[in-house]
Amino acid sequence: MRREVPIAITFLVGMFMIVDFFVPHAYVSASAEELKQWGTIIIAASILLGIGNLLRVHSKKIARKEEGWGYSIVLLAIMAVMLWFGLWPGETLGPNEMVGTVEEGSYFNWMFLNMQVPLQATMFSLLAFFIASAAYRAFRLRSAEASLLLIAAIIVMLGRVPLGQALTQNLPEKAQLPWLTEVIMEYPNMAAFRGILMGAALGVMAMGLRIILGIERSYLGGEK
């Protein structure tokens, strides 16, 4: 019973969503929309599970003084501060200073925009350096494929910048780097891209069908 009930629910809801795709009737669409909203609400409410997990894992770390336990203190302290400002009953302190809301101008919003967003941007900007080191390894001439990748990458990278255009502007159009770049991106690259995408789409359908029919059940924890 522990496994059968979730599988039965999955089957019914899954089939209903497939029916919704083909049946435009307002009653079907409205019910499907309702189901999707339930899903959204359940997912949103689950954040409490996450907070519980964070508290449990990091409290233990601090209690046992495990390696890096100082970071756990910082994490829990910042979480407490954000929760305090986000949940404290609203009180206007000034024209644009609101406590207890997440609106523009609130302390919570100010901390999010001026602390979390710059930190995330910093992490994102690290990608430039990671791309450089990964590209260095990928483009080393170790095999025919790597050589092909290197040649294609050089053409595409040069073709996308003014320098590449300037280098070949006196050549016939079909020998110019921007034109070659477009050819590489539009034909071999797009063909491979679409091939993977179509395979993945069929994979999604097969996986979905396996789940709906209860053939695939390991995501519920084991197969027995």
Partner 1 sequence: MKLPLLLVLLLLAGAAGAQETVGTPVDTTAAVVDTIPPAPVSDVTARDHISNNDGGDRIEVHWALSPDDGGEETGDVTGYLVMRSTEPDAPADTAGVAGAGETMYLDRDAVPGQTYYYHVAATDGVNLSEFVTSPSVRGVRSFFQPSRAAVLVLTLLFFGLVITFTNLAQRGTDLFVRRIPGLNAIEEAVGRATEMGRPVLYVPGIGEIDNIMTIASLSILSHVARITARYETPLIVPTARAVVMSAAEEVVKEAYAQEGQIDRYNPDNIRYLSDAQFAFAGAVNGIMLREKPSANLYLGAFWAESLLLAETGFEAGAIQVAGTAMVSQLPFFVTACDYTLLGEELYAASAYLSKEPKLLGSLKGSDYMKVISIALMLSGLILRIAGYEAFSNWFRTG
Question: Can residue 24 be called a binding residue for partner 1 (CB under 8 A)?
Answer: yes
The C-alpha atoms of residue 133 and residue 139 are separated, in whole angstroms, by 10
Written as one letter, the residue type at 39 is: G
Which residue of 9, 15, 33, 169 would you call a contact of partner 1, by CB under 8 A? Answer: 33
Strand-pair partners of 99? 91
Question: Can residue 208 be called a binding residue for partner 1 (CB under 8 A)?
Answer: yes
With beta carbons less than 8 A apart as the criterion, state whether 53 and 67 touch.
no
Nearest to 180 by CA among 202, 158, 162: 158
Positions 47 through 66 that interact with partner 1 (CB under 8 A): 47-50, 53-54, 56-57, 60
Question: Can residue 209 be called a binding residue for partner 1 (CB under 8 A)?
Answer: yes
Question: Can residue 133 be called a binding residue for partner 1 (CB under 8 A)?
Answer: yes
| 51 contacts: CB under 8 Å, gap ≥ 6 | 79
With beta carbons less than 8 A apart as the criterion, state whether 215 and 7 touch.
no
Which residue of 126, 144, 173, 174 would you call a contact of partner 1, by CB under 8 A? Answer: 126
Q: How far is the CB of 69 from partner 1 (least distance, A)?
A: 11
Question: Can residue 151 be called a binding residue for partner 1 (CB under 8 A)?
Answer: no
Q: Provide the token pair at 203.
A: 């994979």
Q: Which lies closer to partner 1 via its Cβ, residue 154 or residue 175?
A: 154
What sections of 46-116 are H helices per DSSP? Answer: 47-64, 69-87, 107-111
Positions 103 through 122 that interact with partner 1 (CB under 8 A): 116, 119-120
Nearest to 31 by CA among 19, 45, 48, 42: 19
Question: Can residue 221 be called a binding residue for partner 1 (CB under 8 A)?
Answer: yes
Nearest to 149 by CA among 164, 136, 138: 138
Q: Which lies closer to partner 1 via its Cβ, residue 9 or residue 206?
A: 206
Which residue of 89, 94, 95, 222 would you call a contact of partner 1, by CB under 8 A? Answer: 222
- Residue ranges in contact with partner 1 by CB under 8 A: 18, 21-27, 29-30, 33, 39, 42-43, 46-50, 53-54, 56-57, 60, 67-68, 71, 116, 119-120, 123-124, 126-127, 130-131, 133-135, 137-138, 193, 196-200, 202-211, 213, 215-216, 218-224
